[in-house]
Amino acid sequence: MGKSLFLGIDCGTQSTKVLVYDLDRKKVVARGAAPHTMVSREDGTREQEALEWVQALTLAMKGIPKALRASIHGIGVSGQQHGFVPIDRSGNPIRPVKLWCDTSTVRECGEIMAACGGEKAMIRRTGNPILPGYTASKVLWLKKHEPKAYRAMAHLLLPHDFLNFWLTGKLTMEWGDASGTGFLDVRRRAWDLTVLKAIDGKRDLRACLPPLIGPHEWAGTLSRRAASHLGLPEGVPVSAGGGDNMMGAIGTGTQEDGSLTMSLGTSGTLYGYASKPVIDPDGNLAAFCSSTGGWLPLLCTMNCTVATEQWRGFLGKSLPELERLAARAPVGSDGVVTLPFFNGERSPNLPRGRASLLGLTMGNLNEANVLRSAMESAVFGLKFGWESFQRLGLRAREIKLIGGGSKSRLWRQMTADAFEVPVVTPVEEEAAAFGASLQAAWAVGSGGKADRPALNRLLARHVRMNRAAQTKPSPRTGPAQERAYLRYKNHLAALAPLYRPE
């Protein structure tokens, strides 16, 4: 085989997925996956063991034939953002990883922002407030609650950094994923010392942070130990990789101004490429860097398919039954409103949020309305971010939809109707793993140089949309959609004061 095979790895919340993409044949030629477990507690704790990711990667790689593994020419890693992976001097994790959806550090968010002059001052400093889920508050939480573990922390990594470290033996952190820590100034792509001192005024946390690298660079090459473990050739280049949203942007070809991708997964995300920093003075949109050399303004909701899965399990319905029942309900679910905050919420900032089912009457309480309302709530939560995009002058000709929800015809139609733009889905559904493989191909092909035109050509050749399944807005549902969205916002406004940070 030639030098056309690239391995993409995506370490997500629920599983690790791998795929091998063949540049010459323009197709995915092998896949594998293995699940993760998660510890959840009523105080908002959401944790995983970092070494379980390694175990999942090992199992997932068994789905890749040995002949293909032996011919891999480059590796890219995508990882769930914001997770806090503290390791000791020997490179071993010192405690379970607090994940992106962990909301147990609300108090620490407020303490860091207060020390930096408040939320508006934080946005001026770094481009972002410190929200629950971001890495910064997790570090302060460890310092306060587990001081022995904090003292043992030699290095501070993110999930994809940890896998890069396990693969190469080298410590790095890439701009895009680093911008979700809360202590990176996204304009300068540099650590903000004031924020780090707000976390610990005595210890210089910069000593714990890996070198920052650009998305075009290599994190290193595959070590002998990792190569033997996975059945891959030693010395294969490992690209910088990045957060799952950044890799999803690559995997959907979101690399030009005005291009938007939406993910309907465990969380809901809406993001678009920008050639310059996009700072939201209201803090609704995250001002992240992209993993292509630009910026990636992003909205994240912490409850998307979470709500539908909770109701599906409670009612004992299969996925086809959910779709069939929800399709029977009218737009607006006969007035039934779901606030889907099973995990608290980041956008809007309601970390103490709880899920609610509202607007019930003797005549509208049925399975169809409840299930459709759960689906509508995911779309309405993301429309909240869409309005922030529009206020900042960002427009879109279409939305590229990914994640588990993109497989639902009903959810695609809801999205097109609510956002009033066509919705398309990529041919390759695993956008993050696919994006990681393409970033690896770019880094290897350009020799680690920041050759953006080469990236654009690469994505133009290999990222394809399923145009035959394009979903257009239905003009008949517009007024009903607007009434349903207004009802959702009114209920949200009424209950939000109960859930805001203290």
239-272 pLDDT tens trace: 999 999 999 999 999 988 777 999 998 889 999 9
CATH code, domain with 113: 3.30.420.40
Residue 185 lies in a domain: yes
Residue 86 DSSP SS3: strand
Q: Which residues pair with 280 in a beta bridge?
A: none
Tokens of 353: 């949020």
Residue 166 lies in a domain: no
Of 207, 140, 215, give the one whose Cα is nearest residue 179.
Answer: 215
Residue 402 DSSP SS3: strand
pLDDT of 132 reads 86
Contacts 24+ apart (CB under 8 A), 470-473: 470/422, 470/423, 470/424, 471/409, 471/412, 471/413, 471/415, 471/416, 471/422, 471/423, 471/424, 472/416, 472/422, 473/416, 473/417, 473/419, 473/420, 473/421, 473/422
Q: Residue 31: enclosing H or E segment and its boundaries?
A: strand 27-35
pLDDT of 460 reads 95
pLDDT for 271-311, tens place per residue?
Answer: 999 999 999 999 989 999 999 999 999 999 989 999 999 99
| Residue-number span of the structural domain to which 126 is assigned | 82-157+173-209
Residue 426 DSSP SS3: strand
Residue 375 to residue 394: CA distance in whole angstroms:
25
Residue 353 to residue 44: CA distance in whole angstroms:
10
Half-sphere exposure of 107 (CA within 13 A, CB side): 8
Q: 348 preceded by cis ω (within 30°)? A: yes
pLDDT of 385 reads 81
Beta strands in 306-459 (DSSP E): 337-339, 356-358, 399-402, 423-424
pLDDT of 502 reads 67
Residue 417 to residue 440: CA distance in whole angstroms:
36
Residue 193 lies in a domain: yes
Q: 268-272 and 260-264: which strand pairing? A: antiparallel
pLDDT of 183 reads 97
Residue 152 lies in a domain: yes
Residue 440 to residue 10: CA distance in whole angstroms:
13
Residue 5 near residue 72, CB atoms below 8 Å: yes
Tokens of 84: 């806090």
Residue 138 phi/psi, 5-degree rounding, is -70, -35
Helices (H) and strands (E) in the chain, counts: 18, 24
Residue 311 to residue 238: CA distance in whole angstroms:
41
Residue 440 near residue 76, CB atoms below 8 Å: yes
pLDDT of 2 reads 61
If you search the block for the tokens 């091998």, which residue do you land on? 20
Q: 242-243 and 72-79: which strand pairing? A: parallel
Our CA angle for 445, 448, 454, nearest 5°, is 45
Residue 86 lies in a domain: yes
Residue 58 near residue 427, CB atoms below 8 Å: no
Residue 274 DSSP SS3: strand
The distance from CA 35 to its chain's CA centroid, rounded to whole angstroms, is 17
Q: Residue 249: enclosing H or E segment and its boundaries?
A: helix 244-251
Which stretches of the chain drop beneath a pLDDT of 70? 1-2, 502
What is the four-CA torsion angle of 250, 251, 256, 260, rounded to 10 degrees?
Answer: -120
Residue 8 to residue 133: CA distance in whole angstroms:
25
pLDDT for 391-423, tens place per residue?
Answer: 888 888 899 999 999 999 999 999 999 999 999
Residue 117 lies in a domain: yes
Q: Is 161 a catalytic residue?
A: no
CB neighbours of residue 144 within 10 Å: 13
Residue 91 to residue 153: CA distance in whole angstroms:
10
Residue 333 lies in a domain: no
pLDDT for 195-206, tens place per residue?
Answer: 999 999 999 999
Residue 485 to residue 429: CA distance in whole angstroms:
28
* Residue 378: C-alpha distances to residues 184, 263, 337, 398, 400 (Å): 29, 10, 11, 18, 16
What phi-psi label fits residue 462: left (phi over 0), alpha (psi between -120 and 50 degrees) or beta?
A: alpha
Longest dimension (CA), the chain: 66
What is the total count of domains within the chain? 1
Residue 389 to residue 270: CA distance in whole angstroms:
9
Residue 177 lies in a domain: yes
Catalytic residue, candidates 161, 185, 192, 244: 244
